[in-house]
Structure 1
Amino acid sequence: MNETERIQTLFTDLYHGHPWLDVTLQDTLSRITATQANQRPISDGNTIWEIVNHLIAWRQNVLKRVQGEVLQTPSNNYIKRIEDDSKEAWQQTLEALETTQKEWLYFLNTFNEADFVKEYSVNKLTYYQHIHGIIQHDAYHLGQIVLLAKMV
């Protein structure tokens, strides 16, 4: 197994496989309703839904970075209040997360490992660091989601 395949396994396991931490994004989010996802149990904290949208946006951002695009990160860090809190909108959010999962796996399946050493010009981090960073970002926020889910 090469490094790209190992990274694909990390992405898959954290999303819906068997990660070491024993919780996954898909399983955790599948048990959360739109109403629960939009609750704010910590008054100055984020909702589960806001965190999921943040995950989606950062997954898209980093994917574009490792495809050579230079991006401006918005001042809100991709955290916005939910305007449509319907069941359908929650389902669309979960589908958008699934889409980013498929996009990442496709990208990794076609990625040239020689490009791991390329640097993103804005922060000078390598593509390898960005790819592992987005997995770490997902795991960090999954922990928040699990805790928030216990509160809603």
Structure 2
Amino acid sequence: MKNNQQLANRFREVLLNGTWVANTNYKDQLENLPLQIAQTKMGDLNTIAILAQHIHYYIKGVSVVFKGGALEIKDAYSFNFQPMTSETEWKAFLTTLFKDAEEFATLVEQLPENNLNDPFTDKKYGTFQRNIEGMIEHCYYHLGQIVVIKKLIQQL
């Protein structure tokens, strides 16, 4: 299997269908989660909804680069989201998150193997491969937070 296909599969594991590393994934954790729980605040922690939107922000921003666009996302804006106001809005967001995650994985698969070591928009950001691996690691980091926050909420 080519490296880009392996990276795409690892990304799908954390977002859509895997259980190998964390024994869960975003889709398993979020798909049937009510908005009320997703927006429950636990101390000074981010809510589950904010963490999901944060990950989506990066998926969308990096996908633009894979499509030939500029890197326009900024860390400073990556947690700035308005609370959702309805279950319908939450479900629509989740549908978009999972659709965009699959698109991201497809873009990784379509990236020519010889481009994995090319600079990602600028040498200071490393290579495409480093950014894809960083995205996977970033997703796992926040997935762990989501799992812990859900457990804390269940103890209320």
What TM-score comes out, normalization by structure 1 length?
Answer: 0.89
Aligned to 2:7: 7
Aligned residue runs from structure 1 range 61-140, under 5 A = 61-74=61-74, 76-120=76-120, 121=122, 123-140=124-141
Q: CA deviation at 1:19?
A: 2.2
CA root-mean-square deviation:
1.8
Aligned to 2:27: 26
Contact between 1:37 and 1:48, CA under 8 Å: does it hold in 2?
yes
Contact between 2:62 and 2:71, CA under 8 Å: does it hold in 1?
no
Aligned to 1:141: 142
Contact between 1:38 and 1:47, CA under 8 Å: does it hold in 2?
yes
Q: CA deviation at 1:50?
A: 0.6
Contact between 1:40 and 1:47, CA under 8 Å: does it hold in 2?
yes
SS of residue paired to 1:76: helix
Q: CA deviation at 1:101?
A: 1.4
Q: What is the one-letter code of the residue matched to 1:37?
A: A
Structure 1 residue runs without a partner (length 5+):
none
SS of residue paired to 2:70: coil
**Structure 2 CA distance for partners of 1:75 and 1:108, relative to 1, 3 Å:** closer
**Structure 2 CA distance for partners of 1:49 and 1:115, relative to 1, 3 Å:** same
Contact between 1:54 and 1:77, CA under 8 Å: does it hold in 2?
no
Structure 2 residue runs without a partner (length 5+):
none
Q: What is the one-letter code of the residue matched to 2:116?
A: F
- In the alignment of these two chains, the number of paired residues is 151
Q: CA deviation at 1:45?
A: 2.2
Aligned identity (percent) is 22
Runs of 4+ in 1 over 6 A off after TM superposition: none
Q: CA deviation at 1:87?
A: 0.4
